[in-house]
Structure 1
Amino acid sequence: MKKVLFLVLISLLCTSISASATPAHQETYGYGYKKQYNEQPPDLGFYAPLIEKYNGFYMGDPNEKKVYLTFDNGYEQGYTSTILDILKEKKVPATFFLTGHYVNDEPELVKRMVNDGHIIGNHSNKHLDYTKASESDIKQDLKALDEKIKKYTNQDTVQFFRPAEGRFNEKSLAITDELGYVNVFWTVAFVDWHSDRKNGWKYAFDEVMEQVHPGAIILLHTVSQDNADALSHLIDELRKRGYEFGSIEDILWDKYVPLY
């Protein structure tokens, strides 16, 4: 009887350990950070070394007064043309992370992004949570969107990737890195994806300006009228404060190409 009880206890213990110990590489993370303000970069905690381990990045050089504009486009609300007009007028580069839905519905805007000199990044064809997807589904999803982008533009490669809803884990970082994508996160963002919420351009302006810092990658959503109305003011004020606008390709170059 004692032997049976012992075996039952061992079995229960092993089951408990197996159920509770989700492999570290499969644990899901929702990207976030602790804001610092006063032109100081936020504290990313353990996210920073994890992202860097798989050759991703979340900001440029924190000692250089340069910032990087990025936009996430899941669907169109009529503001992207205005944003593109402003970027062209102000001569500011940007990266647009697109979903497959957006590319299908707005091919002319997608063409214009590239024709105006901007970069298009992959934001998942189906806006999938890669932490819950199989490796084969991830590969298929990435390939499907890349092919759509190449179909409508003369951008022959899609190098940058931003996970849908900022959800990732070590498995998804490893897979995308192995496929040659660079995961791009951010250090300036706020709740701006609700198209029915209009707080005025000053709200968006203040949110960015209080968080901005040297090297900041700024994430904005194009469904926000506040963002479209604030963009010209943001560009002018940041330049007034001594900031330059760079392309995320600059970060990649600085990070991986040695100086001789």
Structure 2
Amino acid sequence: MKQLSKFLSILCILFVSTATVAQAQTSDSAIHWGFKKGYRGQPAEAGQMLEGLLDKYGAYYKGNSNKKVLYLTFDNGYENGYTEQILDVLKKEKVPATFFVTGHYLKSAPDLVKRMVNEGHIIGNHSWHHPDFSQVSDEKLAKELEMVKAETARLTGQKEMTFLRPPRGVFTERSLEKARELGYVHVFWSLAFIDWNTNSQKGWKYSYDNIMRQVHPGSIILLHSVSKDNADALEKVIQDLKTEGYDFRSLDDLILEDTFKDPMLY
């Protein structure tokens, strides 16, 4: 009986050890964000595995697919001369946006960052050096995020930073967990296209057509501010989507709606 008990104990230890190693390997494996694009009002779908993972860590890639609400976001890795035009359009159309910035952007375009906050937009965290989140330690990740938060606060007075977008959409379960511990909400996207290649701009209609083709209720729209196509298309995109009955909201509204689930508030 003692030998059996000892044997079972060893088996238990081996099982727990094996499960722990497997869990660690899974949680630290690189995940590249991807989804089936929306089309003609039908929502984008990331699939059960990704959606389950995002739900587990309180992350988002789209809002309520039953409401004609849109969330406009920009990734700002560096300034290419078009953000001022984008901000002018947003101000004219009274549309809020979230700008995910890097350390390079904060250092090279501080006046534009200040303007974003002064005009009611949200600054999100895109990390300081734009690293692959699957290749950095927890300590390095925390430092990357803290540097962006601190410099944004110094420039603009925005002391809190809630929203995070991983560079290139690469992440791990570990980075999701660590960022959540640090108080961040991961925000991915449900509408995007190749707009970041500055050597392959195709005219405003390319951007317009891609957005209008993919848009759906609850879209979190990702645009890159380095794109001339996006800057030139933005006003018509916003005006035509408003005509179609869409309302532009901020990511703060997305969190509030998901928290309270009260349709009377919206």
Normalising by structure 1, report the TM-score: 0.90
Q: What amino acid sits opposite 2:149 in the alignment?
A: D
Alpha-carbon distance between aligned partners in 2 of 1:78 and 1:151, rounded to the nearest angstrom: 23
The match for 1:44 is 46
CA distance in structure 1 between the aligned counterparts of 2:58 and 2:201, rounded to whole angstroms:
37
Question: What residue number does 1:196 align with?
Answer: 199
Give secondary structure in 1 for the equivalent of 2:131: coil
Counterpart of 1:122, as a letter, is N
The match for 1:55 among 39, 50, 58 is 58
Q: For 2:145, which of 142, 147, 150 is the aligned residue?
A: 142
Structure 1's 116 and 167: CA in aligned 2 closer, same or farther, altered over 3 A? same
Instruction: Give the whole-Å Cα distance in 1 for the aligned partners of 2:41 and 2:177.
Output: 32
- Identify the structure with the greater helix proportion: 2
Q: 2:130 aligns with which of 124, 127, 130?
A: 127
CA distance in 1, matches of 2:201, 2:136: 34
Residue aligning to 2:97: 94
| Structure 2 residues without counterparts, runs of 5 or longer | 1-17
The residue identity in structure 2 corresponding to 1:243 is Y
Task: Tell me whether 1:184 sits opposite 2:187 in the alignment.
Answer: yes
Match of 2:246 among 243, 248, 256: 243
Residue number among 68, 73, 78 corresponding to 1:70 in the alignment: 73
Tell me which residue corresponds to 2:28.
26
Looking at structure 1, the residues matched to 223 and 53 of structure 2 have their Cα atoms a distance apart, in angstroms, of: 24
Cα displacement (A) at 1:258: 5.5
Structure 2 partner of 1:213: 216
3-state SS of paired residue (1:69): strand
Distance 1:199 1:169 in 2: 34
Give the alignment's TM-score, normalised by structure 2.
0.88
Whether contact under 8 Å (2:132, 2:167) holds in the other structure is yes
Corresponding residue number in structure 1 for 2:231 = 228
- Greater alpha carbon shift after TM alignment, 86-95 vs 30-39: 30-39
Distance 2:195 2:83 in 1: 14
SS at match of 2:134: coil
C-alpha separation in 1, matches of 2:36 and 2:192? 12
Alpha-carbon distance in 1 for matches of 2:195, 2:122: 21
How many Å separate the matches in 1 of 2:86 and 2:122? Answer: 14
Deviates more, 1:169-178 or 1:250-259: 250-259
Q: Which letter does structure 1 place at the counterpart of 2:91?
A: K
Counterpart among 37, 58, 68 of residue 35 in structure 1? 37
**How high is the sequence identity, in percent, across the aligned residues?**
48
Residue 244 (structure 1) shift: 0.6
The alpha carbon displacement at 1:128 in A equals 1.4
Give, in whole Å, the separation in 1 of the partners of 2:107 and 2:26.
36
Looking at structure 2, the residues matched to 78 and 137 of structure 1 have their Cα atoms a distance apart, in angstroms, of 31
Question: Displacement of 1:247 after TM fit?
Answer: 0.5
Match of 1:166 in 2: 169
Q: For residue 254 of structure 1, what is the amino acid of its counterpart?
A: E
Task: Work out the number of aligned pairs and report it.
Answer: 243
Q: Is the contact between residue 59 and residue 187 of structure 2 (CA under 8 Å) also seen in structure 1? A: yes
Match of 2:260 in 1: 257
After superposition, give the CA deviation of every residue in 1:175-202 in whole Å (9 maximum; x if it has no partner).
0011110000110000111112120000
Q: C-alpha root-mean-square deviation of aligned residues, in Å?
A: 1.6
